[in-house]
Structure 1
């Protein structure tokens, strides 16, 4: 009976992680579409939730990597799996509070590896799998995404130069609906698999399924559903950072960034790499800023993201190790329940802290103010309406951005040969 209760608790916690993964990573697919107003915020997260759930049924390669490619299933226990999940959830919530788009994938891997190290030592970790399937993709994915998005954005900018901005904006906003949908579908094929892999690992550890078993359908459906539910609720704090804080983005950049993200994520899912979709999406948005003439990348924001990325694996690992230590010290099911209560209390405290400066669909597109660390300048009333004076300031700031871009475009035209300009006028 104790083993069954512990297995149920592990499965519930894994689904809770899937839920946090969903709202933590919504911005990967929809931040740029919301920022360019290609989609309304509520519509965007609903579309992303539906496609995330559909994508979860398309591939199981990443689930196999998590379940059998990172740790020795024969050397761990349900307590170890539970402690690792808690480490991943806590790091997800902390980074969400600060609006930092860190990797849910690496939080999960870090938590599990940390708890395994605390329980059985380094012999329980398959280091070759961690390096090949996690660390190498973590280094290469954002670099590749930056390059692909920068080249794609540059080519789009060259092809559309001289065209009226309202024409390009209208066309590329429609294109963004398709590219953002593709990213959501790709996200489901990669991130939803990770909780599936953890639950499969728990089932194998408890002896509920054989060691060579595939992922049961109920596991696939449950993980897909909770991922979609978290996605629909929307990680507005992270959506704001990616959509407004990293690059002042237009619809051409948004479509280029989303298309490059989808390509890299789908390729990694095909090969079973436990890729960070956050790293890919962030790299693509940065690349769109680098490739667009006259665009501005906020390197201070990018630096804070890099720090969070570097801390994810060790921080989640430390939490996972501490949680296993508490379980082992108290002993039995009581130790596991104590850690579960600590998780609930920590989650509640973080949620209460987030209410001091709430971000939701009504203010997610408020103009970014880097001097205040991206804090919202407009206070949102209980009715969700932004005060007129602050809304006016936001409109003026948006107008200044469009004016700078228009000036950069005019300057690029003036540098071309006179014959080209005459032909364009004709």
Structure 2
């Protein structure tokens, strides 16, 4: 029974990784597509490749997910595996709901909310202090830094190129967006694919198929990287429209700045803080920041408010779905 549960967890985790890919594809490429720097299919192909590469560049975020959210050490193997399974189901459910309504919510926080909800429903301890330090604080500060950073960099860009011909500047930044979109996609793979690795690693450690103090197996890294890349290539057109056009009409310079600032924030959190931050929150706030350099009214704050509501609801709603799934499946799978 335990072996079957592990296989099921791995399969569902890769399914979550796939939905993460198509749900968050817009994070990397919406600005480049909306400014016509890249065609949709070229952008998706590039994002898929960079997602795969980024997924293999580190495991620090995966280890945070595996060891800093819910304590599985004293749980029975059955309970631990059911908690991980239901956490994934809660995260997938919220991903699909927000994708359907075209809201760029966070797959990261869906998974974390799922782990918290399933853990509490399963009677397991939660690492409250670690969640505050590694999840809540980055969740608050990353969008703020993205907004302010993108605003300031965009002001600097406008000042530097104030005397240049607009057509020439647009052409150059459209070319530069290829690099910034690739950097953003790399950061997405670095952050989001690792979360799936962390969940699979939790399941493997539970039944002794991996050492708790060892490294994440190579096959787990490759499987997670492949799943998120395939999901990315399948696209996320609903959310792409929201990020690329409904918040603000972007030009190539603003698209380049938003992507570049977002990528730097993702890298800093992955390599320095080891914090699982949301690529969605980061790029959305950066888009708002560059948009505000025109004038505050240029940003469609009604759309931004709807996105904000989805952000606030993500962790509790994913936790609720995961908790309900735990209450249902724990006795059934026993």
TM range (shorter): over 0.9
Summarize the Cα distance change of 1:295–1:7 in structure 2 as closer, same or farther, 3 Å threshold: same
Partner in structure 1 of residue 22 of structure 2: 23
SS at match of 2:298: coil
Cα distance in 2, alignment partners of residues 205 and 239 from structure 1: 38
- CA-CA distance at 1:293 after TM superposition: 5.3
Deviation at 1:294, TM superposition (A): 8.5
- Mapped partners of 1:294, 1:46: distance in 2: 34
Counterpart CA distance in 2 for 1:75 and 1:283 is 40
Distance 2:333 2:48 in 1: 39
TM-score, scaled to structure 2: 0.96
The alignment of Structure 1 onto Structure 2 pairs a total of residues equal to 329
Q: Distance in 2 between matches of 1:211 and 1:324?
A: 24
Counterpart of 1:72 in structure 2 is 71
Q: Is the contact between residue 117 and residue 321 of structure 1 (CA under 8 Å) also seen in structure 2? A: yes
Counterpart for residue 193 of structure 2: 192
Match of 2:266 in 1: 265
Provide runs of 4+ in structure 1 moved above 6 Å: none
- The answer to whether the Cα contact below 8 Å between 1:73 and 1:204 also exists between their aligned partners in 2 is no
SS at 2:312's partner residue? helix
State the Cα deviation string for residues 299-357 of structure 1 (Å, max 9, x = none). 0000000000000000000000000111124343xxxxxxxxxxxxxxxxxxxxxxxxx
Q: Which residue of 1 aligns with 2:136?
A: 135
- 1:295 Cα deviation from its structure 2 partner: 7.5
Instruction: State the Cα distance separating 1:279 from its structure 2 match.
Output: 0.6
More contact order relative to length (CA 8 Å, sep ≥ 6) = 2
CA contact (8 A) 2:116 2:126 kept: yes
SS in 2 for 1:161: coil
Bigger mean CA deviation after superposition, 161-170 or 74-83: 161-170
For 1:378, the equivalent position in structure 2 comes to none
Which residue number corresponds to residue 82 of structure 1? Answer: 85
Q: Tell me if the contact between 2:69 and 2:115 (Cα under 8 Å) persists in the aligned partners.
A: no
The answer to whether the Cα contact below 8 Å between 2:44 and 2:233 also exists between their aligned partners in 1 is yes
Q: Distance in 1 between matches of 2:51 and 2:253?
A: 24
Please list every run of 5 or more consecutive structure 2 residues that lacks an aligned counterpart in the other structure.
none
Cα deviation for residue 207 of structure 1 reads 1.9
| TM-score (ref. length: structure 1) | 0.76
Q: CA contact under 8 A between 2:29 and 2:44: conserved in structure 1? A: yes
Map of 2:100 onto structure 1: 97
How much is the aligned-residue C-alpha RMSD, in angstroms?
1.2
Deviation string for 1:385-417 (max 9, x for gaps)?
xxxxxxxxxxxxxxxxxxxxxxxxxxxxxxxxx
Name the SS for the 2:291 alignment partner: helix
**1:62 aligned partner:** 61
Task: Give the whole-Å Cα distance in 2 for the aligned partners of 1:294 and 1:67.
Answer: 41
Cα pair 1:72 1:126 within 8 Å, conserved: yes
Distance 1:235 1:32 in 2: 13
CA contact (8 A) 1:111 1:319 kept: yes
Q: Name the CA distance, whole Å, in 2 between partners of 1:91 and 1:294.
A: 31
